[in-house]
Amino acid sequence: MTIDWFILAPAAFFAGMVDAVVGGGGLIQIPVLLSAFPQTGIPTLFGTNKVSSIAGTGASLWRYARAVRIPWRLVLPATAAALLGAWLGAAVVAWIPREAMRPLVVVMMLAVAIYTFLRKNLGQEETHEPRPGDLWRGALFGLVIGFYDGFFGPGTGSFLIFGFVRVFGMDFIRASASAKVVNFATNISAIGFFASHGPILWAVGLTMAACNLAGAYVGTHLALKHGAGFIRKAFLGVVSVLIVKQLVEIF
C-alpha cells in the first residue's frame, strides 16, 4: 500500500494548527484519510484520525495550561460528564440514524455564527466570575456536548468554545483552553471505541500525530500571541465552513 505523505503530513499539520485555536481539525484530516484509503473501513480511519488528533490536543492543552488559568472546578465535572455522554451517544447510534441530526446541527451552527457575529464583544473578556451552580451547569453542559460528540461529532470543539463563552462568561482564550480538556478526554474514549470496532492504522496515525503536534504548537502560539480577537475570527471562519459542509452533505 503506497501512502501519500505529501498530502497526509501537511493536512495533519494544518489540522493541528486549526484545532489548537478553535477546534475543527477533523474537517481537514478525515476527508484526506477517506481519500487516501478509499478501501479502508470507517472505524479504522476515524480511529486513526483520533490518534493523530489527540497528540495535537494534548500539546495545545499543555501550552494553554501553562499560560492560561483554566477553571478546573468547572471544567473537570464537565469533562467527566462528557465521557459518560460520549458513551451514551455512541450507544444511541444503533437506534437513531445520524443523518437525522444534520438539519438540526445546521440550524444550531447558524444560530451560533449569527449570535457571535452580532455580539462584537462576545468573548473578548471575561464577563463574570464563577457563579453558584456552575459546577452542575458545567456537568450538564459536558453531558450534552459529550453525547453529541459520541453520536454525531462535527463542530464539537466549536460548540464547546461557544458554550464556555456564552454560558460561563469566559473569554475566547480561556474557553479554547477549557475545550481542550474536554476534547482530550473524549478523544481517549473515541480511540478506545474505534480500536474495539476495527484495527487502527497505527503507523499512519502516529506519523500524522507528530505533524499534528507541530501544527498545534504553532496554532497555540498564534492564539496566545494574538488573543481573543484572533480566536473569534478563526471561530467564525471554522463554523462557516462547517455550515457549508453540512449543507452540501444534506443536498
Which tens digit of pLDDT belongs to each residue from 74-118? 999 999 999 998 888 877 766 766 677 678 778 888 888 898 888
191-250: pLDDT as tens digits: 888 888 778 999 999 999 999 999 999 999 999 998 888 888 888 898 898 888 888 888
Give percent of the chain with pLDDT exceeding 90.
40
pLDDT of residue 143: 95
pLDDT of residue 113: 86
Residues 51 and 200: their CA atoms lie apart, in Å, by 9
Q: Which residue has the cell 494574538?
A: 226
pLDDT of residue 198: 78
pLDDT of residue 91: 76
Cα of 25 vs its chain's centroid, Å: 7
CA-based end-to-end distance of the chain: 34
pLDDT of residue 1: 56
Amino acid letter, residue 251: F
User: Nearest to residue 213, comparing CAs of 62, 64, 58, 65?
Assistant: 58
Q: Please name the residues in contact with 135: beta carbons below 8 A apart, sequence gap of 6 or more.
A: 73, 74, 77
Task: Count the Cβ atoms, other than its own, within 10 Å of residue 199.
Answer: 13
Residues 122 and 153: their CA atoms lie apart, in Å, by 24
Q: What is the DSSP letter of 101?
A: G
Please give the full DSSP string across 167-212, using - where no structure is assigned. TT---HHHHHHHHHHHHHHHHHHHHHHHHHHS---HHHHHHHHHHH
Q: What is the DSSP letter of 100?
A: G
pLDDT of residue 94: 60
User: Nearest to residue 172, comparing CAs of 222, 241, 247?
Assistant: 222
Q: What is the mean pLDDT of the chain?
A: 87
Q: In the predicted model, is pLDDT for residue 158 greater than 60? A: yes
pTM: 0.85
Residues 236 and 213: their CA atoms lie apart, in Å, by 23
pLDDT of residue 44: 87
pLDDT of residue 93: 65
201: left (phi over 0), alpha (psi -120 to 50) or beta: beta
